[in-house]
Amino acid sequence: MTETTPSIFSRIISGEIPATIVAENDDLIAFEDVNPQARVHVLVVPKTTEYATVAELAAADPELLSKLVALTQQIADERAGGQYRLIFNSGAEAGQTVFHVHAHVLAGELGEGTLV
Ligand code: 5GP
């Protein structure tokens, strides 16, 4: 865990900040990115605040990562015929701005170079 104050995603999970929620269960929440880079641009976020990056999540809780991927597939099935791009930015130099692990699900009319 690298954050010391609640991330923007923690505030969405708690309901303090509104978001367009696409799916939610005990472990995960999925909501539309506020600045979409494709027709479908959903963020899939573990509710736990323990992990900043996908590598930390994979090492500590591979079952939760597996659940995240399954939810990603479900969202893509519902919204984009099951085809999608899954991106985890890991580290500021790679473009990560929120240090609470999250997957970008991008699908539908991806432009060339849509990398988030
Ligand atoms: P990162 O750059 O950390 O991989 O991705 C963070 C993502 O969170 C960005 O794509 C950004 O648009 C999205 N984001 C930042 N703040 C908010 C917010 O308050 N609500 C929603 N729905 N998305 C946000």
> How confident is the model at residue 2, as a pLDDT?
47
CA distance 67 to 62: 9
Q: Is 100 a catalytic residue?
A: no
Q: Is the CB of 42 under 6 A from ligand 1?
A: no
From atom 18 of ligand 1, which residue's Cα is the shortest distance away? 34
Q: How confident is the model at residue 109 (pLDDT cuts 50, 70, 90)?
A: confident
Kindly provide the ipTM of the predicted complex, given to two decimals. Answer: 0.99
pTM, two decimals, is 0.94
- Whether residue 114 is predicted with pLDDT greater than 60 in this model: the reply is yes
Single-letter amino acid code for the residue at 23: A
Whether the per-residue pLDDT at 47 is higher than 90: the answer is yes
Tens of pLDDT along 49-95? 999 999 999 999 999 999 999 999 999 999 999 999 999 999 999 99
Residue 21, number of CB atoms within 10 A of its CB:
14
Tokens 């991330």 belong to residue: 7
Q: How far is the CA of 92 from the centre of ligand 1 (A)?
A: 13
How close is the Cα of 81 to the center of ligand 1, in Å? 24
Is there an atom of ligand 1 within 6 Å of 95 CB? yes
Domains and CATH numbers, the chain: 8-107 (3.30.428.10)
Closest CA to 47 of 92, 101, 109: 101
Q: Over 70: is that where the pLDDT of 111 sits?
A: no
φ/ψ (deg, to 5) at 90: -125, 100
